[in-house]
Every structure is written in C-alpha cells, then in structure tokens.
Amino acid sequence: MTRAPLTAQDCGLFSCHVCGLLSKGVKGSGESRCPRCSAPLHFRKPNSVSRSLALLIAAYIMYIPANLLPIMKTGSMFGAQDDTIMSGVVYLWHSGSWDLALVVFIASILVPLLKLIALTLLLVSVHFRSTWLPLQRTKLYRIVELIGRWSMLDIYVVTILAALVQVGSLATITAGPAALAFGAVVVLTMFAAMAFDPRLIWDPLKKARTEHD
C-alpha cells in the first residue's frame, strides 16, 4: 500500500514566496519570517480562497461593462460609429481584416472568459475539498498564471489596432469607456490568480490518503 508522501508542511518547512528559500518554521504557529529576506512566511496563503473569490467576483462584474460599453470609437468618411468588443470584431471581419478580428476575439473575449471560468473551477473545487484530477487542476492554474503574465496583450491589441488605423487616412479609432473596465478585468483576474494558493488543491488528497492508510 502506498503511503501518503511527506509534504513541506508535514516537516514544518516554509517556502518563501519572495526568495524561494525553504526554511524551518515553528509547526503549529502557521506563520514565521524568512531568515534570508524577512518576508512573512505561511504554510498556506492566509484567506487565499476568500481573497481570490472577492477579486474574481469583481472581475465578473467589470466583465459586463467591458463587453456592453463601447471600447472603440471609429470615425471614417462614412461617419462615426461606437463599437463594443464584439461589434468591433464583426466590423473588422466584414471589412476584410479577418486576421485582426480573430486576434481581437481571442485576446479580448475568449481568453478573459476562459480565465474567469478556470479560476471559478479552481475555487469551487478547493472550497468543496475535491480530490478530482489534482494534477490537471494544478496544470490549469499554471496556465492561468502564464496567461496572466501576457494579459496586457489584450490592452495592447486595442492600442495597436488604434495606432494601425490612425496611420491610414480613411479612418480613425479611439478607445471607449469599456477599455477601462476591460483593463480592470485583466488586473483583477491577475490578482485573483496570485491570491490563490495551488497547494490547497492537494490538501484534501493528502487527508483522504491518510484516512485510507
């Protein structure tokens, strides 16, 4: 019968979130200081689920105006037009810029929505102490973190798009109020991912193995 593997927490070891040093702490205290950089140490991030959930809810709220309010104001010889993200994608598609439409759709609609869904799945599974596919959920968290580092690409897409169109003499594009909400979604999802402690994914599995042994 396979025994549950020892974890750093079982050995009373802390992993510093700042410098990465593994150091001995006082087991049961739940908190200590890193001997190298003096950063606060915790066996698990304090209030990880509640803080991540609050940031995620705020991101969901901001996702609504980000998609309903105009994000682009387009001017051309044929008149002016306010576009949401989706109507901007449709506009680009019908104007022949299907490649730009695809980039905007993926970066500005699909990726933020998938990040919200992925974080929701992680938080719900941790809240109910699920033992379902822990390795896959850990990989999912790493993907969300990786995407988070490139999340500003969403903003860059709108900025570059505006710059590209401004070069032409037939049309101009300026950012609309949804750009602010969209930026808030990006920042809030990044903070929600940072607040989440992926080690919580494995804790229920360890308890289940201990009870089984």
Sequential DSSP letters for 161-193: HHHHHHHSSSEEEEE-THHHHHHHHHHHHHHHH
What is the pTM (predicted TM-score) of this model? Answer: 0.78
User: Residue 54 sits in which domain range?
Assistant: 48-204
Instruction: Give yes or no: residues 61 and 148 share one domain.
Output: yes
Instruction: Give yes or no: residues 134 and 184 share one domain.
Output: yes
pLDDT score recorded for residue 81: 75
Are 74 and 171 contacting, i.e. CB atoms less than 8 angstroms apart? yes
pLDDT score recorded for residue 99: 85
Q: How many domains does the chain have?
A: 2
Residue with tokens 């994914």: 201
Instruction: Give yes or no: residues 103 and 141 share one domain.
Output: yes
In a domain, 13, yes or no: yes
In a domain, 3, yes or no: no
pLDDT at 196 over 80: yes
Instruction: Give yes or no: residues 26 and 123 share one domain.
Output: no
Q: What is the mean pLDDT of residues 3-31?
A: 70
pLDDT score recorded for residue 24: 76
Could you give the percent of the chain with pLDDT greater than 90?
23
Instruction: Give yes or no: residues 21 and 120 share one domain.
Output: no
Are 104 and 85 contacting, i.e. CB atoms less than 8 angstroms apart? yes
Instruction: Give yes or no: residues 61 and 14 share one domain.
Output: no
